[in-house]
Structure formats: C-alpha cells, structure tokens
Amino acid sequence: MASGFFAILDDVAALLDDVAAMSKIATKKTAGILGDDLAVNAEKASGFVSKRELPVLWAISKGSLLNKIIILPIAFLLSAYLPWAVTVILILGGLYLAYEGAEKIYEFFVPHEKAHIPSEMKAPSERDILAMEKTKIKSAILTDFILSIEIVIIALGTVLNEPLSTQIAVVSVVALLATVGVYGIVALIVRMDEFGLKLINLNERNNSISDVIGRFFVNALPKVIKALTVIGTIALLLVSGGIFVHNLDFLHDILPAIPGIIVEFVVGLIAGILVLLLLKGAKRIIGKA
C-alpha cells in the first residue's frame, strides 16, 4: 500500500515537472501578445485622477479574469472534440493581430486629424468623468478579451498533442500568469509618476538625490508607455508571423537562409497590410453603396 502511495506521488511529481516545463514554453510563445497586452493596458489605465488609477486597474483585472474563465472551458472543449478548430482560430487570430500591428504602423505614418475642442467648453462634471471611466474600462476589458483568446489558443497550441489534464493545467497556469503578471506590471507603471512625486516632496531641499530620482520617474512614464506601444506593435507582427509560419505548410521552409525572426516579422507585416487594405477597400465600397 505504501509503495502504491509513493508511486502516485511520483506520478504527480512527474506531471508537475511536465506542466512546469510546458508552461515555460507556452509562456515564451505568448510573450509577444503579453507585451502588447501590457502596452495597451498601461495606456488605458493611465490618464485618470491619481486616486482612481488603482480602482480602475482593479476593475479591468477582474474583467480580465472573467474573460479567461469564459474562454478556457470553450478552448478545452474545442481541443477535445474539434482540435482542428484550434488551428483555424489560431490563424484567424493571427490575421487579427497582423492587422492590428499594420494598422498601428499606418496610423503612425498617416495620423488621424484631432478633433477641435472649443476653448469655451465647460469642464466635465463628476457624472461625466465616471461615465467616461466606465466606457474606458469596458473598452479595456473588450481588448483584453480578444488578446486573451489569442493567449489561450497559442498556449493550447503548444500542448495540443498532450493529454487533456496536461492541457488544462498548462493553459490555466499561463492564463493566470498572464493576468497577474501583466496587470501587476501595469500597476507599477501607472504609479511611476506618483512615486516620483513622493520622492520629490520627500524633503524641502532642491536638486537632492530624491528630487533627481523623482523627476526621472515622472518624466519616464510617458516615454515608457510610448516604448511599450512600439515594442507591442513589433511583437504583434512577430507573433502573427510565427503563427502563419508554423501552422501553414507552404510557409514552413520559406527563405531558409534568412533568420526566422526576420521571416516571421515580414510575413506578419505582409499579412497585416493585406488585411488592412482589404478592410479599407470594403469600407469604401460599402460607403459608396
């Protein structure tokens, strides 16, 4: 009986080792989307009154957890009964990510005209501010839902040939790490300026060490968010290109002499440009009709 008990412990330990190893691989595969998720949510969680930043971020975090609770069972059912659908969803998601990356590049070179705000316009009331806050939270949760689908599907794609129990364990770990890790880092980022102000007000001396460090954090926040946006855009194209290269047979050995990361970026960029052109063409046709 004792030997049976230890045999079970050995099996559990082996399963945990497998889960840990596969979770590490799956996390690497989803790193690109996590970078974009981080950039998007850092942008959406900033710009509020200081005392509202953390409550807003907590509301988005709860929405993110709910998103994954909805997505995970559906993904596991597809894996068990329609495994081919996982690949189809993965490729469709890759097209969306490629489009989003290409659109960001397009908007950088062809920026939208900013709406003119009359100088005599009254300051928004507290009710208006709260309504805007709710709208921004809903937008962030919707974006998180789309990115969460890709995170779950990509993670699932790395363990698609494993037993269902391993799939559930690995993908659930990655989904939880994605939420806790991303929103934990976002919380640190959006509070950088507040931390900097506290350092500046730490003493009455000018140009003290705390003042220098404090000003650094205050000035760094917009630059960090901008840098994350750039990194996230590159990551979107790399992830989408990787999805196409690894799941479409005719792209497996394309340009073998060129490093894979460059091939994936170019494939993602080309796919994104094509989807962007198709959507813009469709909008023009619908508009004329």
The dihedral over CA atoms of 13, 15, 17, 19, expressed in degrees to the nearest 10, equals -140
Is 247 among the domain residues?
A: yes
pLDDT exceeds cutoff 50 at 178 = yes
pLDDT band at 248 (very low <50, low <70, confident <90, very high): confident
Is 142 among the domain residues?
A: yes
Of residues 11 and 170, the one with the higher pLDDT is: 170
Kindly report, residue by residue over 267-278, the tens digit of the pLDDT: 999 999 999 999
Is 29 among the domain residues?
A: yes
Q: Closest by alpha carbon to 74, among 174, 171, 173?
A: 171
Is 115 among the domain residues?
A: no
* pLDDT number for residue 274: 95
Separation of CA 205 from chain center: 42
* pLDDT number for residue 275: 94
Contacts of 166 (CB under 8 A, 6+ apart): 15, 18, 19, 22, 159
Is 117 among the domain residues?
A: no
Q: Which two tokens stand for residue 133?
A: 């806050």
CA–CA gap between residue 251 and residue 245 (Å, rounded): 5
When mean pLDDT is compared across 3-7, 72-76, 84-88, 242-246, the lowest value belongs to 3-7
Kindly report, residue by residue over 110-154, the tens digit of the pLDDT: 866 544 444 455 556 667 667 777 887 887 787 778 778 878 887
- This prediction has a pTM of 0.69
Percentage of the chain lying above the pLDDT 70 cut:
76
Is 116 among the domain residues?
A: no
CA–CA gap between residue 235 and residue 40 (Å, rounded): 12
Is 241 among the domain residues?
A: yes
Is 83 among the domain residues?
A: yes
Of residues 197 and 11, the one with the higher pLDDT is: 197
Q: Which two tokens stand for residue 26?
A: 């799956």
Percentage of the chain lying above the pLDDT 90 cut:
6
Residue-range definition of the domain harbouring residue 88:
2-110+122-288
Of residues 204 and 241, the one with the higher pLDDT is: 241
Kindly report, residue by residue over 20-41, the tens digit of the pLDDT: 666 666 666 666 666 666 766 6
CA–CA gap between residue 289 and residue 286 (Å, rounded): 5
Kindly report, residue by residue over 70-116, the tens digit of the pLDDT: 988 988 888 788 888 878 888 888 888 889 889 889 988 886 654 44
Kindly report, residue by residue over 193-202, the tens digit of the pLDDT: 778 888 888 8
Annotate the chain with three-state secondary structure: CHHHHHHHHHHHHHHHHHHHHHHHHHHHHCHHHHHHHHHHHHHHHCCCCHHHHHHHHHHHHHHHHHHHHHHHHHHHHHHHHCHHHHHHHHHHHHHHHHHHHHHHHHHHHCCCCCCCCCCCCCCCCHHHHHHHHHHHHHHHHHHHHHHHHHHHHHHHHHCCCCCHHHHHHHHHHHHHHHHHHHHHHHHHHHCHHHHHHHHHCCCCCCCCHHHHHHHHHHHHHHHHHHHHHHHHHHHHHHHHHHHHHHHCHHHCCCCCCCCHHHHHHHHHHHHHHHHHHHHHHHHHHHHHC
Contacts of 17 (CB under 8 A, 6+ apart): none
Average pLDDT value for the chain:
76
CA angle, 44 then 178 then 28, to 5°: 120
* pLDDT number for residue 278: 94
Look at the chain and report how many structural domains it folds into: 1
* pLDDT number for residue 20: 61
CA–CA gap between residue 169 and residue 178 (Å, rounded): 14
pLDDT band at 19 (very low <50, low <70, confident <90, very high): low
